[in-house]
Amino acid sequence: MSKVVIVTGGSRGIGAATARLAAQRGYAVCVNYLSNRAAADAVVSEIERGGGRAIAVAADVSSEPEVVRLFETVDASLGRVTALVNNAGTLEKQMRLEQMDAARLTRAFAVNVVGSFLCAREAVRRMSTKHGGSGGAIVNVSSGAARLGSPNEYVDYAACKGAIDTMTVGLAHEVAAEGIRVNAVRPGYIYTEFHALGGEPGRVDRVKAHVPMKRGGQPEEVAHAILWLLSDEASFTTGGFIDVTGGR
């Protein structure tokens, strides 16, 4: 059976590293992106130069119709999805909770939580043996923030990732007998452009002293954990978590 993976938020950072590594491991890859088509096309071109198959598909994961279209596009172009990496996420400016308004909270939960639920739903509908599928694997990209809470910066983001942790366990139990494994990785302080969304592009260098390993992580280090969880080497692992945090 051909291996087909959708990586949401796959144009940059952890998502791009995961897409590239998945292609090296024999997956046909859908690089989902929100608006930066050039970045997504660059990842696709790199995969194709290496002999792999990839497509870039624009879709806002917080929009139900766009998620449905994303999966239908993959059905038509690459075949039935066998793996999903729920990586797309958003972050807003650093602030304390008493400064946050409802609009910010709605945006954060729509992308970080609702988007992951919608993508998981579409994946299960295709992977589950209950629905005629052949099984598969889902990896949710959570965050070390789910355990630490991100006080004074991103309590809303941390809460979103806490929801993802709970969804990971619940969904894993729901579909374990239907050939689908569901796990999560919790990255720590990783060098990506994501931190710029919060207003501090150099955040990793500021906080890395708190990491027992005394450094930030690289996107590729998270990607290797994701690909292990997708692989047959993790065949008896579901509802589990890998912390890629340098011990934090």
Residues 213-224 pLDDT 10s: 999 999 999 999
Rounded to the nearest 5°, which phi and psi values hold at 54? -160, 150
Q: What integer pLDDT is reported at residue 200 of this predicted model?
A: 83
Q: What integer pLDDT is reported at residue 198 of this predicted model?
A: 79
Residue 233 has pLDDT above 80, yes or no: yes
pLDDT digits 0-9 by tens, 155-196: 999 999 999 999 999 999 999 999 999 999 999 999 998 777
* Kind of pairing between the strands at 28-33 and 4-7: parallel
Q: What integer pLDDT is reported at residue 199 of this predicted model?
A: 82
Query: What's the average model confidence in pLDDT over 26-41?
Result: 98
Q: Give every CB contact of residue 169 below 8 A, 6+ residues apart in sequence.
A: 239
**What does pLDDT average to over the chain?**
96
CB-based contact 188:214 (threshold 8 Å): no
Q: What integer pLDDT is reported at residue 195 of this predicted model?
A: 77
**Count of Cβ atoms closer than 10 Å to residue 243 Cβ:** 18
> What three-state secondary structure class fits 185?
strand
- Rounded Cα–Cα distance for residues 44 and 77 (Å): 14
Catalytic residue among 33, 157, 189, 191: 157
- Rounded Cα–Cα distance for residues 40 and 31 (Å): 6
Residue 44 has pLDDT above 80, yes or no: yes
Q: Which amino acid is at 216?
A: G
Q: Is 157 a catalytic residue?
A: yes
Residue 1 has pLDDT above 80, yes or no: no
Q: Give every CB contact of residue 65 below 8 A, 6+ residues apart in sequence.
A: none
- Helix axis angle for 37-49 and 13-24, nearest 10°, is 20
- Rounded Cα–Cα distance for residues 25 and 159 (Å): 33
Domains of the chain, earliest start first: 4-244 (3.40.50.720)
Q: What does the chain come to in residues?
A: 248
Q: Which amino acid is at 96?
A: R
Residue 197 has pLDDT above 90, yes or no: no
Q: Give every CB contact of residue 101 below 8 A, 6+ residues apart in sequence.
A: none
Point out the least confidently predicted range of 102-116, 129-143, 188-202. Answer: 188-202
Rounded to the nearest 5°, which phi and psi values hold at 215? -155, 165
Q: Encoding tokens for residue 6?
A: 């959708």
Q: How far is CA 124 from CA 54, 97, 138, 143, 246, in A?
A: 22, 35, 9, 23, 32
Closest CA to 239 of 141, 169, 154: 169
Residue 24 has pLDDT above 90, yes or no: yes
pTM strictly above 0.75: yes
Q: What integer pLDDT is reported at residue 7 of this predicted model?
A: 98
Q: What integer pLDDT is reported at residue 168 of this predicted model?
A: 98
